[in-house]
Structure 1
Amino acid sequence: MGTLNPTAVKRWIALEMKRLREAAGYDRAAAAERIGKATTVIAHIETSRNLPAPADLEILLDFYGVPERASFFRDLTRRAKRGRDWWIKFDQGVYEWFNLYLGLETGAARISTVDLVVLPGLFQTRDYAHAVIREGRRWNSEAELATMVELRMARQEIVNRPEDAPHIWSILDESVLHRQTGGPKVMRDQLQHLMDLSERPNIDVQILPFAAGAHGASDGMFVLLDYPPEFGGDPGTVYVENRREGLYYEDREDLIRFRKTFERLQAQAENPGRTRDFIQKLAREVNDQ
């Protein structure tokens, strides 16, 4: 779990502590009584607001019937306390609701994306990102805008990790590639970059062609994050973003619905090989302009 960050670790501890309590048949009040503290202490642990104190962790895991997991949880809590989220230097320009996504994206083993308007941030060239971010909101200064572009570029480090880069599966609406974001030169470079990425073994790109007609993602983009095997029992996270906020779905039934939608879109979209041919054709057309 070398690439996992404090945000991802705290989230998993919170989810797992809640899951173990519910599996043992106890409510929060019973767990709080067992450690002699207020119910809010359990609530804060299970919402990742606070990490469990070492003594409380030992008692709770024994109470939940899994004392053998104490050593593993102690190691995780130490990591969460020692670690430092990489994006902290960009913190002034990051929406509070986006902090969690940055942590989950960094720790994900698989990232499945559906995008209908622009390319996913992990695939964007610097010039393309600048054009997209500039139009995204009103900026106080060029320096503030530049900081957000640097944040997007820094996120892409996970794509180039030498040992445990995530598997990324991207489904793009055809309109994304026709829209000349930033102008012809920017789009030409972006299409070539996308081609290069699509040839990597850990990246799959599919175009959802206009001919596919209506589809299951007509209500907008979403990202499905799955985590490493060490986070056993974690159902994953779906992230949906709009102009005002980022929404996180972690209920199993919600995740099943999003996974089924993604599978339907995979079936409707061009396969990765035909998609590469499609991108090449578009790149040539932009070159001819």
Structure 2
Amino acid sequence: MVASSTSPTVLKRWVAFELRRLREAAGLGRDDAAKAVKGSVQNIGHVETGRSLPKPLELERLLELYGVPERSEFFLDLRLRAKKGRDWWIGFDESAVPEYFRLFLGLESSAVKIESWDAIVVPGLFQTPDYARAIIRDGDPGLSVTEVERRIELRAARQDEVLDRDDPPRVWAVISEAALRLEVGGRAVLKQQLARLVELRERPNVDVQVLPASAGAHTGAEGAFTLLTFPSELEHDPGCVYTETRVKGVYYEEPAQVMTYRDALTRLQVQADKPESFTRWAERTMKDL
């Protein structure tokens, strides 16, 4: 729930998103908002991109200008939580948590639904320590042993924060058969990883689907992505899609962009084997190993 989130990163994003939407719905420009709070257009820009939070009086004036003064209490509560909150990954340095990844960690830990497509590797939320070690070490051979281990610690902490919280999100992953057969770290590590997926699949909030090699060409050919859905308390939020390259993360938050990925994911879910068949598939594959 939005009201229970304590991540300043996420709450700033939520406040920014909704204030921009309300201004645009009212047919007003940033200059109109700046005049209302006796501030600058630049300051409004910072608020609407999540770089800063409006002061309480500014917030009330903006909501009055946008025709929704009754939402002041809700927004003031979000603002207070953002000021008092603490992001869970504080304590990990930038080598483990690059700046572009921080927003994703906050959004992921606050989502009510996390859906993903992965063509090459098992998603990070599901990785065992040995599997993660092989992915991290071989993916960036220049990392020191300490840096590799810190990234594994981050991945484990991330799993605790998302999968083991009191109100875990619905997690639905579509993974290519090729990824699930790739002997990352060797056969023993892969077998351990498949066993972990079977264990997770037993949870009522987790679904795993295999996209078989026989599916041929498919809509996930352009690469992995994660689609996040947020609590209903944040009205009109279309969700967010996150993709990542070696050097940066990319966030898609416009409704049309999110819908494009939603359609692609739905087609992948239809093409993939049904979630109920995953355990049988995994056990058969582990036996082959």
Same structural fold, with TM-score higher than 0.5 when normalized by the shorter chain? yes
* 1:54 corresponds to: 56
Provide, for residues 122-147 of structure 1, a one-character-per-residue CA deviation record: whole Å limited to 9, x for no partner.
Answer: 00001111111112224442111111
User: Using a 3 Å threshold, how does the CA distance of structure 1 residues 221 and 168 change in structure 2: closer, same or farther?
Assistant: same
2:249 to 243, 246, 250: 246
Counterpart of 2:165 (choices 157, 161, 169) is 161
Asked whether the 8 Å contact 2:212–2:273 carries over to 1, the reply is yes
Distance in 2 of aligned mates of 1:97 and 1:41: 22
Render the CA deviation track for 1:1-45: whole Å, top value 9, x for unaligned: 324421111101000000000011101011101111110111000
Match of 2:138 among 135, 139, 143: 135
Distance, in Å, in 1 between the alignment partners of 2:94 and 2:24 is 38
Q: Deviations over 1:137-192 (max 9, x none)?
A: 24442111111110011000110113x10100000000011101011111111110
Distance in structure 2 (CA, Å) of the matches to 1:178 and 1:220: 18
Which one-letter code corresponds to 1:232 in the other structure?
Answer: E
1:9 maps to a residue whose letter is L
Letter in 2 for 1:169: W
Confirm or deny: 8 A CA contact 2:6 2:81 kept in the other structure.
Answer: no
Contact (CA 8 Å) 2:6, 2:86: kept in 1 or not? Answer: no
The answer as to 2:63 corresponding to 1:96 is: no
Cα distance in 2, alignment partners of residues 239 and 140 from structure 1? 24
- Which residue number in structure 2 is paired with residue 78 of structure 1? 80
* Alpha-carbon distance between aligned partners in 2 of 1:49 and 1:139, rounded to the nearest angstrom: 33
Q: CA deviation at 1:284?
A: 1.2
Report the alpha carbon displacement of residue 275 of structure 1 after superposing the two structures with TM.
Answer: 2.0
Aligned to 2:173: 170
In the alignment, is the contact (CA less than 8 A) between 2:125 and 2:155 conserved in 1?
yes
> 2:175 and 2:71 mapped to 1: Cα distance?
42
Misfit runs of 4+, over 6 Å: none
Q: Give the alignment's TM-score, normalised by structure 1.
A: 0.96
Tell me which of 210, 215, 224 is aligned to 1:212: 215
Query: How many percent identity over aligned positions?
Result: 47
Aligned residues: 285
Mapped contact 1:139–1:145 kept (Cα < 8 A): no
Q: Is the 8 A contact 1:191 1:283 kept in 2?
A: yes
Partner residue, 1:44: 46
Q: Which deviates the most, 133-142 or 98-107? A: 133-142
1:263 aligns with 2:263: no
* Deviation of 1:92 (Å): 2.6
Task: Name 1:235's counterpart in structure 2.
Answer: 238
The one-letter amino acid of 1:130's match is R
Alignment RMSD: 1.0
Within the alignment, does 1:23 sit opposite 2:17 as a pair? Answer: no
Whole-angstrom distance in 1 between the partners of 2:145 and 2:216 = 40
